[in-house]
């Protein structure tokens, strides 16, 4: 495919996101139960938290792509609903997000991911493009990447072309000379393809093959890329 650079999605491409998020939310919940008045946390659960988060997104859809802002505002709204004033709610939200974000970075990569990135980074400049808020460059895996782009720093998330366009600008390659690797048929395959990039669909969740029909390459695990590149 005459590839000169590769961009990667992160969540559910390099690691299992649900596991890392659930662990981080449990750490957040335990910390808040330790520091907040008992009455404010009496009815708190991950289910009630997610219900409040949905109400935040519905009332402010313009921030939906910024997962950091959404999570902090969800915590603020929760504590205000429990009777906290704004300052108290923002303090608790800050504490909750701080421990969540630290735990969020404790990911367990899929098998052979690091081995694959090590080999690919010796041949291609690598970059990441994520709709999530994982801090890749603070992780051990970050040493294989030139940079990582988060949707929170852009007006729109994937599949909008804005992050793909910024990535190829920084990588200094033509769109058709960049391969984007990701698990989401819409965000990663369609989004990258519409921006002119080549695409590799990593079907980590065993979805119907038809969903990735427009990808230039389909693999079931990251390690398979070495066979094709």
- In whole angstroms, give the CA distance from residue 27 to residue 21: 10
- In whole angstroms, give the CA distance from residue 166 to residue 124: 18
Rounded alpha-carbon distances, angstroms, from residue 153 to 14, 69, 166, 195: 21, 11, 11, 19
Sheet of strand 198-202, all strands in order from the earlier edge strand to the far edge:
147-150, 126-130, 5-8, 178-182, 198-202, 217-219
Catalytic residue among 9, 11, 160, 184: 9
Q: Are 193 and 212 in contact (CB under 8 A)?
A: no
Say whether 9 is catalytic. yes
Q: Are 143 and 21 in contact (CB under 8 A)?
A: no
Active-site residue set = 9
């Amino acid at each position: 495919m005459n590839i000169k650079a590769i961009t990667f999605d992160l969540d559910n491409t390099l690691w299992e996101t649900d596991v890392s998020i659930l662990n981080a939310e449990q750490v957040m919940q335990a910390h808040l139960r330790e520091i907040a008045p008992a009455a404010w946390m009496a009815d708190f659960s991950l289910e009630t938290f997610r219900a409040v988060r949905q109400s935040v997104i519905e009332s402010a859809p313009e921030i939906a792509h910024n997962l950091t802002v959404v999570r902090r505002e969800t915590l603020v709204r929760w504590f205000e609903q429990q009777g906290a004033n704004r300052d108290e709610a923002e303090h608790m939200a800050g504490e909750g997000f701080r421990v969540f974000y630290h735990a969020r970075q404790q990911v367990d990569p899929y098998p052979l991911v690091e081995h694959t990135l090590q080999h690919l980074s010796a041949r291609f400049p690598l970059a990441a493009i994520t709709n999530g808020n994982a801090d890749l460059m603070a992780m051990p895996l970050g040493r294989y990447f030139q940079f990582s782009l988060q949707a929170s720093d852009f007006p729109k998330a994937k599949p909008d072309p804005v992050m793909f366009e910024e990535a190829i600008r920084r990588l200094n390659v033509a769109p058709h000379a960049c391969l984007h690797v990701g698990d989401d048929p819409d965000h990663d395959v369609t989004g990258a393809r519409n921006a002119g990039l080549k695409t590799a669909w990593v079907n980590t969740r065993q979805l119907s093959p038809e969903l990735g029909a427009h990808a230039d390459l389909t693999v079931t695990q990251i390690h398979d890329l070495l066979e094709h590149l």
